[in-house]
């Protein structure tokens, strides 16, 4: 009997978490539509309950497809984007108008279209706003502590073929940082090398963690993340929501399960 998953939270203590659930879709488009619909539904439910939900976006190609579907489905959803707070799990430390910016990707795909409050969109610093990744990380940590609610409603994460999430990569020292919520990365194996990322404990400060994974290149990483607890081998294995962890997969990404 495998023990229930645990998640490391700030201060380094492990907390038991619910078992992950897996949802498999025919292809990337169906996956993106499902995630976008589920996100809008969660946001509307939170707002109906009088709350201002806080979500964390991720970068990458399936995230971009999800963002486009959010833009398409949002008008009929009843979500008031003026009452949603947006964060990122990681960001590339490049110029603000660099195509590599996760925030630029999200703004173009949906944020600029849905009427989100500018003050509620918390971008990680670019090279125009901070001297280096460490200063950018410190600034985001201060922003989170001042404007965050202590726990994200939904933390969305892409997964790399090596099992990385955000900018936390296998066998990198950042995986063991449990006394900070944001850190700077100098040597990302996935270009660009300079990044800012939430730490594992911060990624785990989420009610609901959603992994968005498409393509057979990720199949082994998905199988490892769902079958092991070795965070250093597969960082995605170390992130679990306090209320739920959902794996949104297409058939190709689920092919090794
Ligand atoms: O800034 C980043 O690069 C992302 O946050 C990164 O963690 C991404 O989500 C994965 O690498 C999956 O990316 P794909 O969906 O494009 O494979």
pLDDT of residue 5: 85
pTM: 0.97
* Atom of ligand 1 minimally distant from the CA of 213: 15
Strands 14-16 and 6-8: antiparallel
Q: Let me know: does 98 contact 135? Beta carbons within 8 Å.
A: no
- For residue 248, the CA-to-ligand 1 centroid distance in Å is 15
Strands 90-92 and 195-198: antiparallel
pLDDT of residue 1: 56
- For residue 17, the CA-to-ligand 1 centroid distance in Å is 24
Residues within a 6 A CB radius of ligand 1: 58-62, 90, 92, 102, 158-160, 164-166, 190
Q: How many helices (H) and strands (E) does the chain have?
A: 7, 11
- For residue 79, the CA-to-ligand 1 centroid distance in Å is 26
Q: Which residues pair with 155 in a beta bridge?
A: 56, 209
pLDDT of residue 3: 67
pLDDT of residue 138: 98
Q: What does the DSSP 8-state code read for residue 2?
A: P
Q: What is the CATH number of domain 19-250?
A: 3.40.50.1360
Q: 190, 197, 234, 252: which to mutate for ligand 1, most atoms within 8 A of CB? A: 190
pLDDT of residue 8: 82
Q: How many CB atoms lie within 10 A of CB 62?
A: 25
C-alpha distances in angstroms, 110 versus 80, 166, 218? 14, 20, 26
* Atom of ligand 1 minimally distant from the CA of 92: 1
* Atom of ligand 1 minimally distant from the CA of 158: 9
Q: Residue 48 belongs to what H/E stretch?
A: helix 28-48
Per-residue pLDDT of the chain (257 residues), as tens digits, is: 566 788 888 777 788 889 999 999 999 999 999 999 999 999 999 999 999 999 999 999 999 999 999 999 999 999 999 999 999 999 999 999 999 999 999 999 999 999 999 999 999 999 999 999 999 999 999 999 999 999 999 999 999 999 999 999 999 999 999 999 999 999 999 999 999 999 999 999 999 999 999 999 999 999 999 997 799 999 999 999 999 999 999 999 999 99
Query: Helix or strand or coil: residue 210?
Result: strand
User: Distance between CA atoms of 156 and 55, rounded to whole angstroms?
Assistant: 8
Among candidate residues 165, 164, 212, 170, the one with its CA nearest the CA of residue 64:
212
- For residue 45, the CA-to-ligand 1 centroid distance in Å is 28
Q: Whose CA is nearest to atom 2 of ligand 1?
A: 59
* Atom of ligand 1 minimally distant from the CA of 214: 15
* Atom of ligand 1 minimally distant from the CA of 157: 9
Q: 105, 160, 188: which to mutate for ligand 1, most atoms within 8 A of CB? A: 160
pLDDT of residue 16: 83
Q: Residue 244 belongs to what H/E stretch?
A: strand 244-250
* Atom of ligand 1 minimally distant from the CA of 62: 15
């Amino acid at each position: 009997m495998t023990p229930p998953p645990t998640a490391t939270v700030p201060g380094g203590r492990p907390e038991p978490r619910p078992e992950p659930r897996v949802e498999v879709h025919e292809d990337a488009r169906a996956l993106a539509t499902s995630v976008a619909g589920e996100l809008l539904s969660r946001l509307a439910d939170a707002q109906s309950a009088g709350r201002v939900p806080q979500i964390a976006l991720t970068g990458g190609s399936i995230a971009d497809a999800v963002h486009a579907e959010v833009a398409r489905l949002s008008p009929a959803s009843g979500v008031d984007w003026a009452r949603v707070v947006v964060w990122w799990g990681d960001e590339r430390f490049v110029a603000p108008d660099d195509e590599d910016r996760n925030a630029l990707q999200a703004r173009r795909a949906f944020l600029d279209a849905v009427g989100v409050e500018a003050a509620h969109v918390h971008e990680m610093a670019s090279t125009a706003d901070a001297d280096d990744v460490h200063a950018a990380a410190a600034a985001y940590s201060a922003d989170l502590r001042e404007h965050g609610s202590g726990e994200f409603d939904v933390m969305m994460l892409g997964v790399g073929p090596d099992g990385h999430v955000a900018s936390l990569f296998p066998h990198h020292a950042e995986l063991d940082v449990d006394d900070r919520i944001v850190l700077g990365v100098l040597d990302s194996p996935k270009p660009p090398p300079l990044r800012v990322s939430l730490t594992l404990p911060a990624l785990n400060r989420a009610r609901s963690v959603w992994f968005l994974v498409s393509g057979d290149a990720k199949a082994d990483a998905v199988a490892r993340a769902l079958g092991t607890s070795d965070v250093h081998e597969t960082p995605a294995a170390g992130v679990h929501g306090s209320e739920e962890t959902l794996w949104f997969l297409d058939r190709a990404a689920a092919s090794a399960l």
